[in-house]
Structure 1
Amino acid sequence: MDNALKSELIQYLRQFATEDRWQRINDVIDKRTRYLSVILEDIYQPHNASAVLRSCDCFGIQDVHIIENKNEFDPNKGVTIGADQWITLASYNQPGKNNTEHCYR
């Protein structure tokens, strides 16, 4: 979805939120950080990765990088409790490539 469409959608949905709710949403967004990113590499147990995503959301960390050299990333929706919807996930999962090196670039 391009930025123009996102902006249009936000403006449309804004009419359904109270002014207090709209202010709260903006306050939360303003407190998110991109100064720190989390990298998860070849996480074997999905519940552990899911807990990390939930913690990132809780602490306001916006960007999480997922490296899949050996293990596929498959978060457990029961553990993430929707946190993965609010953070930005970047996946590095090209077969036969050094995904770790690709992530670090």
Structure 2
Amino acid sequence: MRRSTPNCAFIAEQRDRILRSLDDVDQEAVIHVLSEFATPERRTRLLSVFNARLDAVTVLMDAPHDPHNGAAVLRSCDAFGVQRLHVVERNERFLSSRTVSRGSERWVDVRTYQRSQDAIEALEASGHELVATHPAGELVPSDLRAIPKMALVLGNERDGIHQELVRACRRSVRIPMRGFAESLNVSVTAAILLHNATEGRPGDLSERERTKLYARALILTVPHAAEVLEAKGIRVEIR
């Protein structure tokens, strides 16, 4: 039975509404108005994080079931600078425990798909090589650094990676182990592999995307941001 955990989808939906509404306004104007309400340290921190964000490395979760695992992977994406998490939902909506994600759902873009093929086509169109996780994979974690653009494919906790996704993966990666355990929890696997895959990579988001993320971050963190912006004639949907 699935854990009874509140769905954080409403946070993602709020974030997506903000991003859509930012398409219709002057993002630089939003930043100009709201930045004075953030401390210099906070502004520096936000810009530093977004400048280091990565498109070259992403994650594809195949039908995650446990909300704690989904949240932990989401948190690892945030920690290692991965901007996008892709999820094939199949029969269950993607749930993320907010007590585990600790706010990371506000900073990582989650894209969901009902079919494996839709996810495969989206990632191939963006130039990402799909790399499966497998105990007998031919790659080791450090090999991931040499792949220009990659999507790490993580399987369902019980059933593993769907065969349609397996066929789309050119290669697979293993985590060498020396104990009796033959595998690790999916969230632990994600953290180890993302640490290796992202190490030494410079941030690669476009200036336009970084600007949009910075504007969104100010909207999400400045108290009464909507009212402040509206007083300056800028209308952004937050609720």
> Same fold by TM-score, threshold 0.5 exceeded?
yes
| Of 51, 54, 57, the match for 1:30 | 51
Please say if 1:103 is aligned against 2:124. no
Alpha-carbon distance in 1 for matches of 2:64, 2:42:
36
Matched, 1:48 2:64: no
The whole-number CA distance in structure 2 between the counterparts of 1:74 and 1:47 is: 8
Question: What are structure 2's unaligned runs of at least 5 residues?
Answer: 1-20, 122-239
Q: CA separation of 1:77/1:20 partners in 2, compared to 1, >3 Å: closer, same or farther?
A: closer
**Equivalent in the alignment of 1:84:** 105
User: Is 1:5–2:25 an aligned residue pair?
Assistant: yes
More divergent stretch after superposition (42-51 vs 8-17)? 8-17
CA RMSD of aligned residues (A): 1.5
The separation in 2 between residues aligned to 1:19 and 1:69, in whole angstroms, is 44
What's the CA shift for 1:71?
2.4
Deviation of the 1:26 alpha carbon: 0.9
- Shift of residue 2, structure 1, vs aligned partner: 3.1
Structure with more contact order per residue of length (Cα contacts < 8 Å, sep ≥ 6): 2
Q: Which protein is richer in strand relative to its size?
A: 1
Q: Which residue of 2 aligns with 1:72?
A: 93
Task: State the AA in 1 paired with 2:73.
Answer: V
Measured after TM superposition, the shift of residue 4 of structure 1 is 4.6
User: Which range is displaced more, 34-43 or 65-74?
Assistant: 65-74
The C-alpha deviation readout for 1:76-97, integer Å capped at 9, x for no partner, is 111111101101111113xxxx
- In the TM superposition, structure 1's runs of 4+ consecutive aligned residues that sit over 3 Å from their partners are none
Q: Flag the 1:63–1:6 CA change in 2: closer, same or farther, 3 A.
A: farther
Pick the structure with greater CA Rg: 2
Number of aligned residue pairs: give it.
100
Summarize deviations over 1:35-64 as a string: whole Å, max 9, x none: 011011111111001100001000000010
Aligned residue identity for 1:3: D
